[in-house]
Chains A and B, each alone.
Chain A
Amino acid sequence: MKFGFEILKDRQIDFDKLDRSFSFYLRESEPSFRLCIFCGTCASGCSAAKFDNFSLKNVFLLINRGFTEQATDEIKKCWLCGKCVLSCPRGVNTRQLILKIMQKTDNK
């Protein structure tokens, strides 16, 4: 019987228990991934973001915090137009990273 109550899920990120292996893989295979300062320039000029709730910056953050599942779902919204490569002020090779994330999505 349900009474309209349920146990709330813990929102806290427990860093010690995260599986960050995909983040480590990206940091090694495309070192410019380390340079992201999460400024959001990529997302502000993003073609897809105009129509979809999509932010590459958030995808990167999710990966760094071990939420790989969520990230590989999100990346499907990307159109691969490449505007973010042009705009990134830190020289992050976003295209290369997106392709690697998409590869992970395909392998699911």
Chain B
Amino acid sequence: MKKKVLVIGGGIAGIEASAFLSNMGFDVTLVEKEEKVGGHLNNWEKLFPTMRYGSEVLDFLKQGLNGKVKVLTSSELEKIERIEDQRFDISISSGLNETADAILVTTGYELFDARKKEEYGYGIYENVITSADLEGYFNSNREVRTSGGKIPERIGFVHCVGSRDEKVGNVYCSKVCCVTAVKQSIEIKQKYPDCEVFCFYMDLRMYGMHFEHLFKEAQEKYGVQFIRGRLSEAFENQDKSVLIKVEDTLLNRPLKMSVDLLVLMVGFVPAQGTLKIGRMLGLENGINGFFKTRDQHTLTNVSNVQGVFFAGCCTSPKTITNTITDARAAASTIAAYLLNCEIDKRTVNTRK
């Protein structure tokens, strides 16, 4: 009999892992709570570092699902129970019941709620938006305008909003926001060449293979300017532009500047679905609220519960490239488990 795998979450990781597992000959059911699969990628127009369309990547991934995977959209898990030692009984909101020999959790992330960083004024000042809002303009082909309908003449990007910030409880780096700011500032300059763009950062983490190149292009070709310093607060001027306060940490002097539009680069937080599934399955959380993997170096797709595996951003913030790779890694880890391969029996020994 074909072994069955349940994949929870139809984002990038869920789609790619389902595709690989089904092609390997397993019986795969993919459960997605939204109306369509693709997760956050549906909301993103172009991707760093190549500026290619997100939809191209999504189309590629979806080819893998072609008829082989049972995809249940607008569906949520109601109950998961272990029936035998190595099998699970699953109830889905549509009234469906399934069994599974292994479960892959790909519940992903949510974007940090910028209103929690109240001093930056998101939801209070009209001209403070998030990186996701800005991408929404690009994705729906709307012109970027201030609340007063004017083409912005100066835009500020604020890095690390909700990341590396103990005050909001998130001490980790979200990994993608630095280069997203660079990408979006280039797009702004392409659309509105007369607009001045400033990025406010504490570190620029251009770790990816082509990120540094993109960063250099933003400076050289597009004249984007980078000021090292983290915003303390933002205010609203009478004309509704935003007055920001920052230290120019290289000159050791406080600086104030008015911008027509302030873009907050929001980080990743564990999704509500991640928390919910975690409780249902008894999965351990790490220090940052993301799932804790069995080992940080070697068993990165394995959970503390036998037969339950992880892929994608439910264990840590990841780029799309990293997520796809992680999904394939999870697929082979699950295959090794279900086929009872020797390699699945390895353990990590800690030296004293």
- Tell me whether A38 and B228 are in contact (CB under 8 A): yes
Q: Which of B8-16, B251-259, B266-274 faces chain A?
A: B251-259
User: Is A50 among interface residues, defined by CB-CB distance under 8 A?
Assistant: no
Whether A15 touches B226, Cβ cut-off 8 Å, given contacts A31-B220, A62-B251, is: no
Q: Which of B206-229 contact A (CB under 8 A)?
A: 216, 219-220, 223, 225-226, 228
Whether A37 touches B256, Cβ cut-off 8 Å, given contacts A13-B251, A90-B216, is: no
> Which of A12, A16, A37, A90 is the one whose CB lies under 8 Å from B254?
A12
Q: A7 → chain B, closest Cβ, in Å?
A: 18
Q: B288 → chain A, closest Cβ, in Å?
A: 29
> Which of A14, A15, A35, A62 is the one whose CB lies under 8 Å from B216?
A35
Q: How distant is the Cα of A61 from the Cα of B256 in the complex, in angstroms?
A: 16
- Tell me whether B223 and A27 are in contact (CB under 8 A): yes
- Tell me whether A15 and B251 are in contact (CB under 8 A): no
Whether A16 touches B251, Cβ cut-off 8 Å, given contacts A27-B223, A31-B220, A35-B216, is: no
Q: Which of A48-85 contact B (CB under 8 A)?
A: 57-58, 61-62, 64-65
Q: How distant is the Cα of A61 from the Cα of B252 in the complex, in angstroms?
A: 11
User: Is B341 among interface residues, defined by CB-CB distance under 8 A?
Assistant: no
* Chain B count of residues within 8 A CB distance of the other chain: 17
User: Is A108 among interface residues, defined by CB-CB distance under 8 A?
Assistant: no
Contacts of B258 in A (CB 8 A): 15-16
Q: How distant is the Cα of A17 from the Cα of B66 in the complex, in angstroms?
A: 60
User: Is B339 among interface residues, defined by CB-CB distance under 8 A?
Assistant: no
- Tell me whether A12 and B255 are in contact (CB under 8 A): yes
- Tell me whether A64 and B253 are in contact (CB under 8 A): no
User: Is A34 among interface residues, defined by CB-CB distance under 8 A?
Assistant: yes
- Which among B219, B248, B253 has the highest number of chain A CB atoms within 10 Å? B219
Q: Which of B252-305 contact A (CB under 8 A)?
A: 253-258
- Tell me whether B250 and A11 are in contact (CB under 8 A): no
- Which among B204, B216, B251, B254 has the highest number of chain A CB atoms within 10 Å? B251
Q: A81 → chain B, closest Cβ, in Å?
A: 24
Whether A12 touches B256, Cβ cut-off 8 Å, given contacts A38-B228, A61-B250, A62-B251, is: yes
Beta-carbon nearest neighbor of A14 in chain B: B256
- Tell me whether A35 and B219 are in contact (CB under 8 A): yes
Q: A22 → chain B, closest Cβ, in Å?
A: 15
- Tell me whether A37 and B255 are in contact (CB under 8 A): no
> Which of B204, B219, B220, B251 is the one whose CB lies under 8 Å from A65?
B251
> Which of B216, B219, B226, B253 is the one whose CB lies under 8 Å from A12?
B253
Q: B245 → chain A, closest Cβ, in Å?
A: 8
> Which of A13, A15, A35, A58 is the one whose CB lies under 8 Å from B220?
A35
Q: How distant is the Cα of A37 from the Cα of B220 in the complex, in angstroms?
A: 12
Q: How distant is the Cα of A38 from the Cα of B219 in the complex, in angstroms?
A: 13
Q: B246 → chain A, closest Cβ, in Å?
A: 9
Q: How distant is the Cα of A94 from the Cα of B82 in the complex, in angstroms?
A: 68
Beta-carbon nearest neighbor of A23 in chain B: B225
- Tell me whether B225 and A11 are in contact (CB under 8 A): no
Q: A49 → chain B, closest Cβ, in Å?
A: 16
Contacts of A90 in B (CB 8 A): 216
Q: B45 → chain A, closest Cβ, in Å?
A: 26
Whether A13 touches B219, Cβ cut-off 8 Å, given contacts A37-B226, A61-B250, A64-B225, is: no
User: Can you list 16 A-B pairs, Cβ within 8 angstroms, ordered by A?
Assistant: A11-B253, A12-B254, A13-B251, A15-B257, A15-B258, A32-B220, A34-B219, A34-B223, A35-B219, A37-B204, A38-B228, A57-B250, A58-B250, A58-B251, A62-B251, A90-B216
Residues of A within 8 A of B (CB): 11-16, 27, 31-32, 34-35, 37-38, 57-58, 61-62, 64-65, 90
Residues of B within 8 A of A (CB): 204, 216, 219-220, 223, 225-226, 228, 248, 250-251, 253-258
- Extra pairs beyond A13-B251, A58-B250, A65-B248 (18, CB < 8 Å): A13-B254, A13-B256, A14-B256, A15-B255, A15-B256, A15-B258, A16-B256, A16-B257, A27-B223, A32-B220, A34-B219, A34-B225, A35-B216, A38-B250, A57-B250, A61-B248, A61-B250, A64-B225
